[in-house]
Amino acid sequence: MKNTFSILLLLLLPLSAFTQDTICVTQTMEHKIFSEHLKEERNYWISLPLNYADSLSYPVIYVFDAEWRFELIKNIAFDLGGNRKIQKSIIVGIPHIDWEKKRGIDLTFSQSRNEYDGEKVDSTVYNTSNSGGADKFYQYLTTELIPDVNKNYSTNNHETLIGHSYGGYFGGYILSMDHPFEVIHIYDPSIWFSNGEVTERLKQRIHKQATTTIHLTYQSIPEFHKNQIEAFIEVLERDSSITLSTKLYEAETHNSLFLDSFYRGILETNGFIVEAEETDH
């Protein structure tokens, strides 16, 4: 019975799966880096597209909050790429070690003195134990992690960043910096953090970047959070270096909007139109 099942499985695989350098069935590979900027070992996770070949080159999608989001994104991207709805892409998951504490340190550039609803807070809420280390994390990301991915895999320098909540704040913040990303997805971002410092930095940006494509989604609760995001959107819309698409999810929550945000966003920013092929039925 086992041998029969194996034969059937092989018959179901497309012939093209056997004609490339590497066969990949959404497996995950782990790499480790000792970061000179963070002074600790970090890991990242890799998923390759269907029929990955070293003789070709691929765009790379970098995913924050890999503990939650990597499996979802790698499977959707694998399927869309295999069906020629998006460019076949290498997916890189970036975990944050201690998700509850290190994530905030990795992804925020300061210590906020307000909450997501606008309430004022003191240093017992946001301090160096849980926030404000993103300058070092940014250096790790851009000078250590991305070069390591490019060294180990066949990439084409088209890089997309997926950030949700604090990760969306991070994606918005680096727009005022010399960042490497052609595309940034920003899902329900914490623009409220430090009372909209992301927006203020973008207003004051002196140098212009090459065009960055932004896909930004958000929901409306609480009002302070929504207002801060819409103020940020207004600044993005006035910036000639930004190509922007946005969507407000009235019926979704902070977390539930993620799936549709990625699906729609990746089709818009990494997809291409493919004419239907004739098949025999």
Give tens-digit pLDDT for 127-180: 999 999 999 999 999 999 999 999 999 999 999 999 999 999 999 999 999 999
d(CA 108, CA 133): 6
The answer to whether position 98 is within a domain reads yes
The answer to whether position 16 is within a domain reads no
Q: What is the CATH number of the domain that holds 244?
A: 3.40.50.1820
Residue 28, domain extent: 23-270
For position 97, what pLDDT does the model report? 83
**Mean pLDDT across the stretch 69-92?**
96
Under 8 Å between Cβ of 74 and 25: no
Residue 74, pLDDT > 60, answer yes
Under 8 Å between Cβ of 94 and 47: no
The answer to whether position 1 is within a domain reads no
The answer to whether position 108 is within a domain reads yes
d(CA 79, CA 97): 28
**pLDDT category of residue 13 using cuts at 50, 70 and 90:** very low
pLDDT in tens, 106-127: 999 999 999 999 999 999 999 9
Of 36-40, 62-66, 99-103, the poorest mean pLDDT is in 99-103
- 190 or 208: which leads in pLDDT: 190
The answer to whether position 87 is within a domain reads yes
For the chain, what is the domain count?
Answer: 1
Distances (CA, A) of 280 to 17, 216, 277: 20, 40, 10
The answer to whether position 2 is within a domain reads no
Of 12-16, 69-73, 200-204, 270-274, the poorest mean pLDDT is in 12-16
The answer to whether position 103 is within a domain reads yes
Residue 280, pLDDT > 60, answer no
**pLDDT category of residue 21 using cuts at 50, 70 and 90:** very low
Residue 210, pLDDT > 90, answer no
The answer to whether position 182 is within a domain reads yes
- 42 or 15: which leads in pLDDT: 42
